[in-house]
Amino acid sequence: MRDTKQRLVAAGLDLLLQRGYNDLGVQTILAETGVPKGSFYHHFRNKEDFALKVIDSYMEEVHAGLDHCLGEESIPPLQRVRNFFEATGDKYSKDGYLGCMLGGLGQELAGVNDVFRHRIDNCLSVIGDRIGGCLARAVERGDLPEGSDPRQMAALLVNCWEGAALRSRLQHSPEPLANMLDFYFSAATPGK
């Protein structure tokens, strides 16, 4: 039973990234997974509930990436943050430069669905908070200018990344992501 739910959510990760929310029908999900309609509704109240569970699963992957990259204490904090974004960019490459599922769904749904708007904004804030903690260690070490606001810097970094992810999707290219990281980290650490 749990296997079926996991299979549906795993398919949802790919399908929501590729098609978005409005272009993804339950029938497509069922055809992709071979799951009967009754099983879908046994695990999810409706398509919105399904998509929210997929977002939760996506965030589990993001947290695992953050844990892996930001938890590597032997690496300087700024490099840990950059490593996280570079690893994320590598995943985007494997996905065919479709970008960030959160960003895509946020752009599609934020103006029409408050549930998704709040959930996605919260997810991006949580990512920013995790990165901000690592940037705070960079300030403590003197790797960022004294007086820097790590939370604000992290929020800006996430915002810039989401914009670069959109451009990467539009251009089917890693260049916007790499250019954004180069610019951000050189601007954040002047003279280093």
Tokens read off for 56: 């939760």
pLDDT of amino acid 192: 58
Tokens read off for 140: 């403590």
Q: How far apart are CA 24 and CA 11, in angstroms?
A: 11
pLDDT of amino acid 79: 97
- pLDDT tens profile 118-167: 999 999 999 999 999 999 999 999 999 999 999 999 999 999 999 999 99
Q: How far apart are CA 68 and CA 106, in angstroms?
A: 26
- pLDDT tens profile 10-38: 999 999 999 999 999 999 999 999 999 99
Task: Residue 109: name the closest of 9, 12, 16 by CA.
Answer: 16
pLDDT of amino acid 23: 97
Q: Which domains does the chain have, with CATH numbers?
A: 47-188 (1.10.357.10)
DSSP string, 72-106: -TTS-HHHHHHHHHHHHHHHHHHTTS---HHHHHH
- The residue length of the chain stands at 192
- pLDDT tens profile 93-114: 999 999 999 999 999 999 999 9
